[in-house]
Amino acid sequence: MNDGQELRVGIAVLGTIGKALAKAIDAGIPGVRLAAVAARNQAAAEDWLASLRHSPPVVSFDAMAELCDVVVECAPAALLGDIAAPVLKAGKTIIVLSCGALLEKQELVELARVHGGHIHVPTGALLGLDAVIAAAEGHIRSVRMITRKPVRGLLGAPYLAEHGIDIDAIEEPLRIFSGTAREAATGFPANLNVAVALSLAGVGPDDTHLEIWADPALTRNTHSIVVDSDAARLEMTIENIPSENPKTGRITAQSVVALLRKFGAPLRMGT
């Protein structure tokens, strides 16, 4: 925090989630200020930001770590290390949406530990992480998730090309993947962050089982989870309305807004 105890937030980068977040912060979250934004096309970003009430500077990832207390990573997964490392080296907090990439970047957790920084994975497009985290304080016997997505929410995933799976013209639901959250993170880096978030909250990426279905009749990204533990059995489903990016549910940005609001709130709900 700076002297005024105002939380200075940075957004990296200005895609679908980034823009929704920038608008929400600009509209007003008590105690929170949009202090900087990173984007690869500086001129386009400055153009877009000019419509905000308070337009922040467009800066590099390194400068963002200096200017902000908290940085929200909402970029392609391949950029996670470049965005997070300077933030963590500065002992600050990074909110990570491309959490699938964290599995291959465990050194970031060590950086956070050494420098007193924090990595926060929000609930994002999922539900129930609070209950899964609580269940993990006891013994979880199994975690299973079934994801069903419209075809356009899955197109472009490397797993499809690697396995010669063509979903363009399917007319019936097709199971395209069955495996662990870790395998899904590699095969679907832009589509299944939620499975990795669930795994990190619960029993880890190698013991969290996942099926992915492409369903041409669906309009929503749907995740159904069953957790069996010695404290509770959880059964939960979320049907996400896609944003402008068909891979990304609208609720994802709202999850981060809710988290930022919590940082400054006298009454904080949830685990």
Ligand X SMILES: NC(=O)C1=CN([C@@H]2O[C@H](COP(=O)(O)OP(=O)(O)OC[C@H]3O[C@@H](n4cnc5c(N)ncnc54)[C@H](OP(=O)(O)O)[C@@H]3O)[C@@H](O)[C@H]2O)C=CC1
Sites of contact with ligand X (CB under 6 A): 13-18, 40-41, 74-77, 79, 97-99, 124-126, 190, 193-194, 197, 245, 248, 252
Out of ligand X, ligand OAA, none, what residue 221 binds, judged by CB under 5 to 8 A for its kind, is: ligand OAA
Choice between 221 and 229, CB closer to ligand X: 221
Choice between 41 and 51, CB closer to ligand X: 41
Out of ligand X, ligand OAA, none, what residue 41 binds, judged by CB under 5 to 8 A for its kind, is: ligand X
Choice between 117 and 150, CB closer to ligand OAA: 150
Would you count residue 205 as binding ligand OAA (CB under 6 A)?
no
Choice between 30 and 76, CB closer to ligand X: 76
Q: Mind telling me the catalytic residues?
A: 223
- b/e map of 197-232 (b: 16 or more CB within 10 Å)? bbbbbbbbbeebbbbbbbbeebebbbbebebebeee
125 annotated as belonging to a binding site for a ligand: yes
Among positions 16, 191, 229, 255, the unique one binding ligand OAA when judged by CB under 6 A: 191
Among positions 125, 214, 225, 227, the unique one binding ligand OAA when judged by CB under 6 A: 125
Binding segment (CB under 6 A) for ligand OAA, from list 43-51, 53-61, 172-180, 245-253? 245-253
Taking the complex as a whole, the smallest distance from the CB of residue 159 to ligand OAA amounts, in Å, to: 14
Out of ligand X, ligand OAA, none, what residue 192 binds, judged by CB under 5 to 8 A for its kind, is: ligand OAA
2 annotated as belonging to a binding site for a ligand: no
261, 260, 268, 249: which is closest to 197 by C-alpha? 249
Tokens of 209: 């089982």
Among positions 37, 131, 192, 214, the unique one binding ligand OAA when judged by CB under 6 A: 192
Residue 172 CB neighbours (<10 A): 8
CA separation for the pair 13, 245 (Å, rounded): 14
Taking the complex as a whole, the smallest distance from the CB of residue 224 to ligand OAA amounts, in Å, to: 12
Tokens of 162: 């690697």
Choice between 67 and 226, CB closer to ligand OAA: 226
Sign of CA dihedral 93, 94, 95, 100: negative
Binding-site entries = 125, 193
Interface positions with ligand OAA (CB under 6 A): 125, 191-194, 221, 240, 247-249, 252
The binding site for NAD(+) consists of: 125, 193
